[in-house]
Chains A and B, each alone.
Chain A
Amino acid sequence: MPSAEELKQRIETAIPGAQADVQGADGVHFEAVVTSPAFAGKTRLEQHRMVMDVFAGELGGAIHALSLKTATP
C-alpha cells in the first residue's frame, strides 16, 4: 500500500523542481498539492497529466483516487 510520503517522493523525483504536499492517511485516497516551475506555460490539464503520469497504471488501482492541485511557484 503506497504512503503519502512515497507519493511525495515520487512526484518530486519525477517532476523537475517540484514540491509536493501529499495527504492520504487511508493509503488509497490521496490529495496532493504540487508546485513546480516545470508547470509554467502549461494548461491545467497538462499539469495534472504530468503528475498523473508519475503513477501511470496505479490510479484507479492501488491508488484509488488522487485529488490534485497544481501551481507554479
Chain B
Amino acid sequence: MSEQTENPIRDAIADAIRDNDVLLFMKGTPDAPACGFSARAVAALQATGSPFAAVDILPDPRIRQELSGLSGWPTIPQLFVDGELVGGSDIILEMYESGELHEALGVEPPADAPEPEAPEPKAPERAAAPPLSIENRLG
C-alpha cells in the first residue's frame, strides 16, 4: 500500500486503451461475463467477427474508478476503438443492429439480417487476445 504518490492503475488503463485497437472494459471475462450488460456487449462484438481485447474491472474497485475518471463515462461496459470511447452497452447494441459497429471495427457488415451468425471477415483474423489484466501489468 505505498502507491500514494503515483497512479499506476490509471497509467495502466491509459496504456491499455492506447495499445489495443478494440478494447472492452467489462465485468467478468468474455468467456464468463459477470453482468448482463457486459454479456450483451461481448456477444455483439463477437458477432462482428472482429478481434477485441477485454479488461475485467472487477478484481480491483480502483480500476472502475480510474476508468470512469479517465473516460467520463460512469457505467460498465465501455468500448474503446482506436483509443476513443464508443459507448456503453446500449450504444454498442444499437450500433451492432444498424451495422455501424461493423463499420467502426472495419469489418464487413452482414449482407442482410444482422443476426449474430459468424460473419466471414475479409481480412485474415488476428488471433483473439487473452483477457488483459490490469493488476498483472503493475508487477
The interface of chain A, by Cβ under 8 A from chain B, is 44-45, 48-49, 52, 56-57, 59-60, 65-69
Contact A45–B86 (Cβ < 8 Å): yes
Contact B75–A60 (Cβ < 8 Å): yes
Report the minimal beta-carbon distance from A72 to chain B, rounded to whole angstroms: 14
Contact B74–A56 (Cβ < 8 Å): yes
Contact B88–A48 (Cβ < 8 Å): yes
* Chain A residue nearest to B100 in the complex (CB): A44
Q: Knowing A59-B75, A60-B74, say if A45 contacts B90 (CB, 8 Å).
A: no
A-B contact pairs, 29 of them (CB 8 A): A44-B87, A44-B91, A44-B94, A44-B95, A45-B86, A45-B87, A45-B91, A48-B87, A48-B88, A49-B72, A49-B73, A52-B73, A52-B74, A52-B75, A56-B74, A57-B74, A59-B74, A59-B75, A60-B64, A60-B74, A60-B75, A60-B76, A65-B37, A65-B75, A67-B37, A67-B90, A68-B90, A69-B90, A69-B94
Secondary structure of the B contact surface, majority rule: mixed
The interface of chain B, by Cβ under 8 A from chain A, is 37, 64, 72-76, 85-91, 94-95
* Chain B residue nearest to A56 in the complex (CB): B74
Q: Which residues of B contact A56 (CB under 8 A)?
A: 74
Q: Which residues of A contact B87 (CB under 8 A)?
A: 44-45, 48
Complex: A45 Cα to B79 Cα, angstroms: 11
Q: Which residues of B contact A52 (CB under 8 A)?
A: 73-75
